[in-house]
Amino acid sequence: MQTEFEFTLPKGYVDGEGNVHRQGVMRLATAADEILPLKDPRVQQNGGYLSIILLSRVVTKLGTLPSISTRVIENLFTVDIAYLQDLYQRINMEDVPAYHITCPKCGETFEVPLDFLTEQA
């Protein structure tokens, strides 16, 4: 089972010395990655901060940076945040089971993935 995924950010993180870091690695999320940030006061004050903390936990490498903190994720360009959020959804929902539902009127069967709930935000 693959648990780590390499990526290349569209723009990249620019560090204090002007170096651009675009190549990185994201790992699959655990239950703790999604639950523990909910206790963080920054998330309680601003729900949008959840994705910052979550990404800082699952992005394990970015260029030559020694570690990935919330400060690094906060300073990414918007397009890079969107890219990482999309990658997170794709790798963590890749094997999500689906329900098979039959329309009572036409009889056609549809497959509805369990992740449909996450798209209602």
How far is C-alpha 50 from the geometric centre of its chain's CA atoms? 10
Amino acid at site 37: P
Q: For residue range 43-67, list pLDDT tens digits in order.
A: 999 999 999 999 999 999 999 999 9
Instruction: State the pLDDT at residue 120.
Output: 43
Is the per-residue pLDDT at 15 higher than 60? yes
DSSP 10-36: EEEEE-TTS-EEEEEEEEPP-HHHHHG
Domain ranges across the chain: 4-96
Confidence of residue 25 (pLDDT cuts 50, 70, 90): very high
Flag whether the pTM goes above 0.85: no
- 5 vs 64: CA distance, rounded Å: 17
Is the per-residue pLDDT at 26 higher than 90? yes
